[in-house]
Amino acid sequence: MEPDRRAAEDAFAAGQYLDFLRAVRSDKGDFDQTVMRALIPSVDLEEVDFSAGTTPNTLFELAAAVWDVDELLAISMFREAASGGSSAALAALGEGLNWIGDHEEATLWLRKAISANAGDAARLAGLLGESLLSAGDSVGFSEAEHLLKRGLAESEEFGVPLAKLLLAQQKVAEARELLERLVRADVYGAALLLGNLLAEEPGNFEAAEAAYRAGIASGDGHSAHNLAVMMLENGEPARARELHELAKLMGDSSPLETARD
């Protein structure tokens, strides 16, 4: 049987992506890429492994290429591929949902991915911990801390979320030690959080300034704004205005009087 363009177009429009792939596939196993390019023209189909085996696995491969041009469409494809039995799609869906900020649904799929041993276990644990933290469930703080520490053993990207969680639990000394290590490792976002922490503690003005300046060096405009606010509070309006202008150039246009974020 030859590919059915009309059926493919109808399935794609209805969000039935497994049926879409079945419609563009011939009896010989070839896929009609002309139809696919007409419906998703920006996707580089050369990146797609059309020999991935099952239709859900092929849909996962297609969704991974779609991610570069349309994240929401890719997530819809990941979701159907995961529901159809692709274990790789479980992990990709959980991570994708985490990325776009849908943390409640992300936790569901990340748990499924971990149960299915789909992907890097430590990374999946870190992502689940990050989603639990971002979902704002304080009941799950203990679990989130354990998961983020597992993730941190694999990648320092989970360090800042872990530090935020430690601070939320009043584990200030542990958070500070972690943030100082992350700043030394040039982890983006750590300097801002460390500066905020130090700025709230008496006698740490110079240390807070150094942290904020490390954040500025990393390209973080929020660090410039927060340092400007700290300078204003310290009775140094000229330096504050200078830093405020720098913050605006770096993308943070918050008024100078705005509290540190």
Chain mean pLDDT for the chain: 94
The pLDDT of 142-160, averaged and rounded, is: 96
pLDDT tens per residue, range 219-251: 999 999 999 999 999 999 999 999 999 999 999
Distance of alpha carbon 237 from its chain centroid, rounded?
37
Q: Binning pLDDT at 50, 70 and 90, where does residue 29 land?
A: confident
User: Which two three-digit tokens encode residue 221?
Assistant: 């405009």
Q: Binning pLDDT at 50, 70 and 90, where does residue 258 land?
A: low
Answer yes or no: pTM beyond 0.95: no
Would you state the pLDDT for residue 140? 76
Would you state the pLDDT for residue 28? 79
What's the CATH number for 1-102?
Answer: 1.25.40
Q: Facing residues of 25 across strands? A: 31
Would you state the pLDDT for residue 247? 96
41-79 burial by CB neighbour count: b if 16+ within 10 A, else e? Answer: eebeeeebeeebeebbbbbbbbbbbbbeeeeebbbbbbb
Spatial distance between the Cα atoms of 122 and 140, rounded to a whole number of angstroms: 18
- Level-2 CATH architecture, domain 188-260: Alpha Horseshoe (1.25)
DSSP 171-214: -HHHHHHHHHHHHHTT-TTHHHHHHHHHHTSTT-HHHHHHHHHH
Would you state the pLDDT for residue 257? 78
Q: Binning pLDDT at 50, 70 and 90, where does residue 2 land?
A: low
Q: Binning pLDDT at 50, 70 and 90, where does residue 5 land?
A: confident
Cα–Cα distances (Å) from 198 to 100, 174, 234, 256, in that order, read: 31, 13, 14, 20
pLDDT tens per residue, range 42-54: 999 998 988 878 9
Candidate from 48-57, 96-105, 144-153 with smallest mean pLDDT: 48-57
pLDDT at 3 exceeding the cut of 90: no
Would you state the pLDDT for residue 139? 66
DSSP 221-237: HHHHHHHHHHHHHTT-H
